């Protein structure tokens, strides 16, 4: 089974990088602010490289028949900030989050994902 991460290639990150790039270019044009502009250009080029190389994306392989997957954990917190996160509990490594905290799925979608994954991996679901 592969777990695919989206990485950081989101529209909001590209928008942030454009704003940083053009803001830095404006500072470079001014004599007093050229140091800030050069620093901004360096940070902007770093962020553009991260986005173009698609760093922090990829997939992990987990083999269900090896028995290293213990369970699927479902964390439900209903307070001021509602939080629903799926974790994959692996023997010897602890719990690995499978859903982002900013995904904001409704309870039915979260439970459906947990059930499908637990059925596929043939492991129990733990709710906490």
| Residue boundaries of the structural domains of the chain | 2-58, 63-127
Distance CA 35, CA 46 (A): 17
User: Whole-model pTM?
Assistant: 0.52
Average pLDDT over residues 81-88: 80
Alpha carbons 95 and 3: distance in angstroms, whole number = 14
Question: Please, which pLDDT band fits residue 2 given cuts at 50, 70 and 90?
Answer: very low
Residue-wise pLDDT for 31-69, tens only, equals 777 888 888 889 988 888 888 887 766 666 666 567 788
């Amino acid at each position: 089974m592969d777990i695919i991460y989206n990485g950081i290639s989101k529209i909001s990150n590209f928008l942030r990088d454009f704003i940083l790039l053009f803001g830095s270019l404006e500072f470079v044009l001014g004599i007093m602010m050229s140091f800030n502009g050069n620093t901004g250009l360096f940070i902007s080029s770093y962020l553009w490289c991260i986005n173009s190389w698609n760093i922090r994306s990829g997939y992990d392989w987990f083999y269900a028949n090896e028995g290293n997957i213990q369970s699927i954990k479902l964390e439900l917190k209903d307070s001021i900030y509602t939080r629903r996160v799926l974790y994959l509990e692996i023997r010897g490594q602890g719990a690995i989050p499978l859903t982002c905290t900013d995904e904001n799925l409704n309870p039915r979608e979260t439970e459906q994902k947990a059930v499908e994954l637990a059925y596929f991996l043939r492991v129990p679901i733990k709710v906490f």
